[in-house]
Amino acid sequence: MDIVVLIKQVPDTASRIQDRVKDGAIDLEGVTWIVSPYDEYAVEEALRIKEAKGGTVTLLSVGPERSASALKDMLALGADEAIHIQDAAFEGLGPRALAAVLAAAIGKLPQAPDMVWAGWMAADQDQGLLPIYLASALDMPHVSFVTSIEVGEGSATARREIEGGKEVVEVDLPAVFSAQKGLNEVRYASLKGIMAVKRKQIPVWDAAELGIDVAALGSGGLTDVNISTPPERGAGRIIEGEPEDAARELVRLLHEEAKVI
């Protein structure tokens, strides 16, 4: 069972990004970078499947030079190989164009994967589009929001969350899966894994290495026109009086002033 896992480095989710909004943009200078938490679930699930079924786990990440540290963090957990996809031409690409880049990288691997895993969304942009576009680019089925999975011979049965309930989806492999919170608990890196990663050389693939015509990709993304913090909330109001009178006054205020009913 050969598995590819996509990971992305994002600002630490504990960072107060709202304090970094300035002049219509977000200043990320000096922020701590981590692996997107949903991607960690994807890596952990791939490792568990590998331990049960055998095979390999290969990590792919598109990003600047610092993304190599995210790959090493996940290699330390037990992944076999990692490839860093880095090219200035890839900066600012939208999810459709990035999916084309990743599809080209997956096509260059020595062994076609049986499964491709990713977090259902990255914790920075919260778009949740990349796994869908990638499945289309690879001509594979896609199952999102996976909270548990059973892998058989040539197929998998996944349970996923949907609005108002849960679904059970059986899908033929190869396929693309995206991980939801609750899928597993991510392990800690062992000392052996951490030491092994220090000697690991991660290959870097650029557009030329992948045979990609960057101009043909287009941007396919969104442009930030202006970023601002939400307006401060006004002070609350306390309605005095007997419960019945207070309730009557609350309904009136919601109707006439707030205009929500």
Statement to judge: residues 70 and 170 lie in one domain: yes
Statement to judge: residues 82 and 168 lie in one domain: yes
Mean pLDDT across the stretch 110-129?
Answer: 90
- Average predicted confidence (pLDDT) for the chain: 90
Q: Which pLDDT tens digit goes with each residue over 47-70? A: 999 999 999 999 999 999 999 999
Residue 231 within any structural domain of the chain: no
pLDDT at 222 over 70: no
Residue 184 within any structural domain of the chain: yes
Statement to judge: residues 156 and 62 lie in one domain: yes
Decide which of 13 and 172 is more confident: 172
Statement to judge: residues 149 and 261 lie in one domain: no
Residue 229 within any structural domain of the chain: no
Q: What is the pLDDT of residue 91?
A: 86
Buried/exposed 78-106: b ≥16 CB within 10 Å, e otherwise: bbebbbbbbbeebeebbbbbbbbbbbbbb
**Spatial separation of the C-alpha atoms in residues 139 and 137, rounded to whole Å:** 6
Could you give the dihedral angle defined by the CA atoms of residues 211, 213, 218 and 224, in that order, rounded to the nearest 10 degrees?
Answer: 70
Residue 47 within any structural domain of the chain: yes
Statement to judge: residues 20 and 130 lie in one domain: yes
Residue 14 within any structural domain of the chain: yes
Residue 78 within any structural domain of the chain: yes
Statement to judge: residues 146 and 246 lie in one domain: no
- Domain at 135, CATH number: 3.40.50.620
Statement to judge: residues 20 and 52 lie in one domain: yes
Total of domains in the chain: 2
Residue 114 within any structural domain of the chain: yes
Cβ neighbours for 50, distance < 8 A, ≥ 6 positions apart? 1, 3, 56, 57, 78
Statement to judge: residues 189 and 135 lie in one domain: yes
**Spatial separation of the C-alpha atoms in residues 36 and 185, rounded to whole Å:** 14
Statement to judge: residues 209 and 90 lie in one domain: yes
Could you give the dihedral angle defined by the CA atoms of residues 123, 128, 130 and 132, in that order, rounded to the nearest 10 degrees?
Answer: 150
Place of tokens 């707030």: 258
**Spatial separation of the C-alpha atoms in residues 36 and 74, rounded to whole Å:** 11
Statement to judge: residues 118 and 173 lie in one domain: yes
Statement to judge: residues 80 and 183 lie in one domain: yes
Judged on CB neighbours under 10 Å (0-12, 13-18, 19+), 10 is buried
Statement to judge: residues 126 and 249 lie in one domain: no
> Which structural domain, as residue segments, surrounds residue 252?
237-261
Cβ neighbours for 51, distance < 8 A, ≥ 6 positions apart? none
Residue 247 within any structural domain of the chain: yes
The pTM is what? 0.82
Judged on CB neighbours under 10 Å (0-12, 13-18, 19+), 165 is exposed
Q: Which amino acid is at 5?
A: V
